[in-house]
Chain A
Amino acid sequence: MVEQIVQIVSNERDTDLYFRLIARAPRLAPLVQPGQFVHLRIPTLKEALLRRPFSVFQASADTFSILYKTVGKGTDALSRLPAGSEMSAIGPLGRGFTVPPAGGQTPILIAGGYGMAALYLLAQRSPQKGIVFVGGRRRVDILCQDEFRALGWEVRVATEDGSLGEKGLVTQPLLAELNRAATGRKLFACGPTPMLKAVARIAEQFSLPAELSMDEHMCCGIGVCLTCVIPVKTADGWEYQRTCTEGPVFDARHLVF
C-alpha cells in the first residue's frame, strides 16, 4: 500500500456511461494484484470529501487503469478530468483473487457490467485459460470483452434485452455450462450483489469453490472507519468483516447473504 500523486494519461468514454482512465503511477502500479482496488481523491470535488474506490482493470510497470461508470457526483467529476491532471491515489488495497496455480482448477469468471474490469488481471495472470461469462442489461453494458479474447479466453455474453449474446441473465449460460461439466472448476465473480448471490448459490449447488468480489460503500478504504462491513460466517456464528481489508474478495461459503 502506497499513497502517491498519479497523473492521468487518458480518461475517455468507453460506451454509454462508462469511462476508461489510465494513470501513471510508477510506485503503485507494480504492486497491484488481481482483484485489488485503488482509492482516489478526485480533486475537483469540493463539498464531497471522501475518496472513491475503484477496482484496478489493467496494470503495467508504471500505469494502472480503471473502467468506471458515472453513477454520481464523484464519478461524474472524475469523468471530466483531462489528461495531465493529477490526483492522490492510495493503493493497491484489499485482498484480491487467488490466482489459480498451474495445473489446478480451471477458472470460470462471471462478470456483471463493469465488474468485468476487476477480473481482467486474474484472467491475464492465470496459467490456465477458461471461460468468462459476462452479463449486462444492454449491449452497452458489456465491456472489455475484446481484451479478454486477446488473452485467449472464451467470452460468453448475455444481455437482459437480448441486444448482444444470449437473452437473459448471465447465470443462464453459466448453469448450462456447469450442467455440461462442473468438476475441477472454480468460480470467480464480480458484479451486482444479486448476481453474486446467485453465483454463490450455483457454487453451492455444484459443490464448487467460488471467490466473490463484493462492492460496498467505503470511506477510508484501509480498515479503520468500519463503513464497508458485511456479515461473514465464523466458527461460532458471524461477525462484520471489512470489505476493504478482509475483502473485497471473499470465499462464497463464508458469506451471509
Chain B
Amino acid sequence: MNLSVQIGKLTLQNPVTVASGTFGYGVEYSQLLDLNQLGAVVVKGIRLGPVRGNPTPRTFEVASGLINAIGLQGPGVDGFIKKYWPFLKELKVPTIINIWGTTVEEYAEVAGRFDALGGVGALELNVSCPNIKEGGAQFGTDLRLLAQVVAACRKATSLPLITKMSPNVVSIAPYAKAAEEAGSDALSVTNSFPAMAIDIETRRPRLANVTGGLTGPCIKPIAVKLVWEAAKAVRIPIIGMGGIQSAADALEFIIAGATAVAVGTANFYEPQTALQVIDGISQFMRQHSVQDIRDLVGTVQIKP
C-alpha cells in the first residue's frame, strides 16, 4: 500500500502535514508525539526580522471554531535558524517553512536565505494572513501582486514552492492559476476566513485586532469546496486544510482534489490528531482495497 505523495520534487512519506501557525516549530510537540511519523512539519510564518505580533486578546473560541489574530509573532530568519533549525534539520521528515514579507523583495530575500540554508523541504508562501496590515492577504487577493510574489520567489530558490491561498476572493480559480503560472509547485488551500466576535455586554470586539481569521471544524465544508474548485483549475498538487479532526475529514479533502492535507486548529486541543489521521487513512484504504493514496485524489463523483 502506498501512502507517499509528491509536492513538486519533495516526497512526503504520507499525505498528512500540519498547518502553519498551529504547530510552532515542531519542537514544542516533540514530547507528545513522534514527529517523524508525519508527512512533513510546517512551521509558523517567518519574515526577515523578528515580529512582536498583535496586542491581546489574540484568540477567541466560537462554536466549533476559533478566531485568531496573532499577528505572525516570530523570531525572523536569523532567530529561526539559531533557535529552531538545529532541532528541525535532524528530523527524518521534511520541514516546510512558511515565509512572508511586506514587499515582493522581502519575500524573495527570505526565500533566498532558506535556499542557502540547505536541507529545507519546501517553502510555503503566506500570501493570505488576514491579521497584519502590510503583507499577507494583500498579496493573495490581487492577481498581479500574487504572480509577482510567486515569480520573485521562484527566481530566488529552487526549493519547492507552495502558495498558501486566501479564501477571501470571489473565485479561487484565477488565483490558483496565477500562482501555478508564476512557478508555484503546489497550493495550500486554505488560510483562515476573516471573522469577528463581539462581547454584547461591553460592546467591544473580542479581539484586540478587532477582526481575525476563523479556523476549526466550522470552516471545513467551505474549505472542501475551495479545494474542489482549485483542483479543477490547476494541474499542480493541492494541500487541503480547514477544520480537519479525523481521517474522514482528511479523506473528504483528498477526494475533493487534495494530494495532501494539513491538520490545523485540532493540534491545539488534540495533539495526536495528525497521527490518528494517518492511521485512519491507512485503515480506510485497506477497507476499500485502495492500493495507492494517489488513486483517491480528486475522485469525487459529480453527475453530469
Residues of A within 8 A of B (CB): 1-3, 41, 47-51, 88, 90, 216-217, 219-220, 222-227, 229-230, 239-240, 245
Contacts and interface: CB of A to CB of B under 8 A. Distances in A.
Given A220-B267, A222-B29, A223-B24, A49 B272 contact: no
A226 B64 CA distance: 20
A227 B24 CA distance: 12
B56 interface: yes
B78 to A, nearest CB: 15
13 contacts: A3-B271, A3-B272, A41-B270, A47-B63, A51-B269, A90-B32, A219-B66, A219-B268, A220-B269, A226-B70, A226-B73, A229-B73, A239-B52
A229 B59 CA distance: 11
A230 B23 CA distance: 20
B22 interface: yes
Interface in B11-44: 21-24, 28-29, 31-32, 44
Contacts of A219: 59, 61, 66, 268-269
A50 B270 contact: no
A217 B271 CA distance: 19
A55 to B, nearest CB: 19
A229 B271 contact: no
Contacts of B272: 3
B52 A222 contact: no
B95 interface: no
B68 interface: yes
A229 B55 CA distance: 9
Contact of B58 (A49, A50, A226, A239): A226
B28 A49 contact: no
Given A217-B57, A227-B59, A229-B53, 19 more contacts: A1-B31, A2-B32, A41-B269, A49-B65, A49-B269, A88-B270, A90-B32, A219-B59, A219-B268, A222-B24, A224-B267, A225-B70, A225-B268, A226-B73, A227-B58, A227-B70, A239-B52, A240-B52, A240-B73
